[in-house]
Each structure stands twice: as C-alpha cells, then as structure tokens.
Amino acid sequence: MEDRLEALQCHFTWDLVSGRSKLLSLGDKLEDIGPEGGYSWLGHIYNLQGFVQHRLGFTDKARLLFCRAAEAFRQMRNTVSEEGPWLVVNYGNLAWLHHHLGEGAASRAYLSKADALLDEYPSPCEDELHPEVYAEKAWTLMKFGREQKLQAADCFRRATGMQPGRAEWNSSLVLALLSVVPSGGGELGAELWEKMRLAKERDPDNLYLAAVFLEACAKRGERSQDAARKLATRVLRTPPSSYSGIKPLLRLYRAHLSLDEAIDLAEELLERHPGERYLKRCAATCYKMKIFLDRDNPLERSMIIRAVGLHRDLEGLYPQSALKIKIDLANIYGESDRPAEADRIYAGLMESGLDPDGTQMLYNYYAKYVHFIRKDSYASIEYHMRAAEIPRRSIYRDDSVRTLERIKDRNRNQMCPKIAAFLGEVKGRAGDPSEARSGD
C-alpha cells in the first residue's frame, strides 16, 4: 500500500516542504487568486489549498477542498466524460488523505481510480507523465522556492511539448522562466524574450502576462508609459484578483512612471472594490514604497496616516499570515515621528514564538531596521548573523549572507574577522543535504 501511494503523482509525493508560517502565507495567496481570476486553474487551486489545509491539521477543510477540485475540473473541461487525466492528481491526493485518516478501503478505491485513468489515458510520450499531470505539478511548484520554480519550468516545457496549443501552459512556462531570472539582472535573453512575445500573442486576455511584458519592454529602454495606462483601464474593468496583473502593473508604474501615479491607480481600484483585501495590500505596498524611497524628502503626515491605516486593516484581513504586515508597519513607524512604536512592535514579534522560517524573516528585517533607522551597525551585523545561521535556505538568508559578505569585503568594521569566520561556518553547513529548505 505504501509503495503504491509513494508511486502516485500528487501533492503528497512532490516534496512540498514548508514551515507553518509559509503554509499560512501560501493559503492567503491562494485565496487572493479568487475563483474568477484563476478560472483556468481553479481545480489546481483547490487541490493545493486542500494540501495546505491538511498540512496545517485541518482535515475536514482538506477533504472539502479536494472534492471542490474534482468538481471544478469536471465543470471546466466540459467534456462528454466526467473523468479524464486531469483528475489523476486529485485522486492521488484523496488516496493519501484517506490513508492518513486510517480509511484503508477509501484510500484503495482512489488508488484504483488513479490507476484506471492512467491506463485509459496514457501519456503521448513513452516514459513521460501525462501533460495534464505535468501542468498541475508545474503550477504547484511555482508557488514554492527557486529550485521548485526551476522544476516547474521543466514540467511546463514537457507539457507544452506534448500539447503546444494550450495557451495558459505556454504563458505559465514563460512566467516560470521569468521567476528565476535574478532581480536587477538587466535585459532578458533573446530566447526568453521571444518566448514571452509569442505567449502574449497566443494569450491576449492574460493581463498578468501583459503587465510583465511591459515591464520587460521598459527594462529594454522602450517607452511603455502609454501602454501601461491603457492596460490599467483593462485591469480596472477586471474582477479583482492576484492574477489580474495589478501587482506587476503597479510595479511598472512605480519604476517607470511615478510612485504618485501608482498610488492613484491603487486608490481607484479600491474605490471600485472597497472590500477587496488584496487591493488593500497592493495600495499599502505603494504607500510603503513611497515612504521608504522618498525618505530624504519631508513626509506628509497624511501619507503616514494612510499607510498606517492600511497596514492596520491588513493585520485583521490576513490574521493567519500577518508577520510581514507587522514588520512593514514597524518600519513605517520607524520612518515617522513614532520610532518607539516601531520598537514596541519588533519587541513583541521577537517574543511571539515564531517558527524557524518566520524567525529568519524577522531577524533579516530587524537587521535592516536597526542599521537604517537606529544607525546601529553592530546590532545589524548580529541579527544578520542570527538570520544566516538558521538552517533554512530562503531569500532572507541569502540577503543576510550577501550583506555580511559586503561588510567583510569592505574591511572597515572591527567585526570583520568574526564575520569571516562565521561565513566560513555557514557556507560549510550550506552544502549539508540534511539542511531544511524553504520557499521564497
């Protein structure tokens, strides 16, 4: 039984390792896609939500979500048969769920259903997974760390190789490839640029891809302001969703138009959809960036008040994954005339008993806070070291290690010998395969 379960292709066998804080954050991100915004991926969304709820210990929610996934796949495919290869992953998930619940008969029944589908719908290519399975695996892996995103790109490449006509798969392949390009890496290579251009032509209603395409155009030095404003009118008419393109569009506005125009667009979206928490989060990010990037200029009190108000609202709207929101709020207070409030928030977070992922994030941000706001370079170095020594591979650890390397290379701080010895130990541990990995 165990061997048969392990042989299944589903969320339970894809090594989706994450701590509790990351699972809670992922759950929120999946909710922010929304049923309308993520229609093409609705079955995949419910499947991953079910797995997340199972990992968090909410078995009844997991069962309900896996059942919703099956129904969503049946409705979306709109075929004569109610079953097809798109249900292989779902049946695998249900087989594992019933196995964990000690319900052997139900587990075996779903195992048999998954096997029957694989027999009835073999892969077009020998020794390859069915393209529907590759596509769901790829979409799922994209929600985790860099290594998983590289795997996702490979899975989408295999899926599109067997079914090149699926526009959403081609678009997602491009987005997976873009997600592993280093930030600030300059222009895209010619091959990736061409893939993105073709994907955009084949998937003209994908506003997220359209916004990312305009970002790439701007990085190439092409004027994109007018096109960005035209795209904004389309986004304004679209149901609010994290797949609507608003996040990359606002990023484009901030980088290539102005922070003030980004704020105006975010506020217009909020006026149209005042109850949407995702749009509130987008607006809060714009105000936060305005405050942090314009720190050399006098801050308008109304700007601080609006930023604080939005972040206070978000604490209640994202109660399961509010750590980053609290950190942003503390940093906003640090930039204002209330630094004592920032210290209070950070002190409370330090005593809140976070898991290793959350603790690492907190230490990394606090190190920056004490450096830029408190002007305490020694405390900053100490907390970057604390973040780096937690055995979790993440963007926060990488950032702390890079910061410590820069300090060591400049050789202007009395702690440089200690930093050098510390980095030697950390890099030695980084090659240990037993070290836990966590997503971005």
As given in the structure block, the two tokens for residue 23 are 């699972």
How far is the C-alpha of 224 from the C-alpha of 368, rounded, in Å?
A: 33
What is the CATH number assigned to the segment(s) 205-338?
A: 1.25.40.10
Q: What is the mean pLDDT of the chain?
A: 92
Is pTM beyond 0.85? Reply is yes
- Give the model confidence (pLDDT) of 11-40 as tens digits: 999 999 778 888 999 999 999 999 888 889
Tell me which of 281 and 413 has the higher pLDDT: 281
CB 304 within 8 A of CB 332: yes
- Average of per-residue pLDDT across 338-362: 95
CB 228 within 8 A of CB 249: yes
**All structural domains of the chain with their residue ranges:** 1-121, 205-338, 353-440
- Give the model confidence (pLDDT) of 396-413 as tens digits: 999 999 999 999 999 888
How far is the C-alpha of 350 from the C-alpha of 211, rounded, in Å?
A: 38
pLDDT value at residue 295: 72
- Which residue do the tokens 């797949």 mark? 243
Decide: helix, strand or coil at residue 58. Answer: coil
> Which DSSP letter does residue 11 get?
G
Same CATH topology for 1-121 and 205-338: the answer is yes
CB 414 within 8 A of CB 378: no
Residue 392: phi, psi to the nearest 5?
A: -135, 120
Q: Rg (Cα) of the chain, in Å, rounded?
A: 23
CB 378 within 8 A of CB 416: no
CB count, 10 Å around CB of 271?
A: 10
Residue 412: phi, psi to the nearest 5?
A: -115, 0
CB 391 within 8 A of CB 431: no
Percent of the chain residues past pLDDT 70, beyond the cut: 95
The CATH superfamily of 1-121 is Tetratricopeptide repeat domain (1.25.40.10)
- Average of per-residue pLDDT across 1-10: 93
- Give the model confidence (pLDDT) of 188-240 as tens digits: 788 999 999 999 999 999 999 999 999 999 988 898 899 999 999 999 999 99
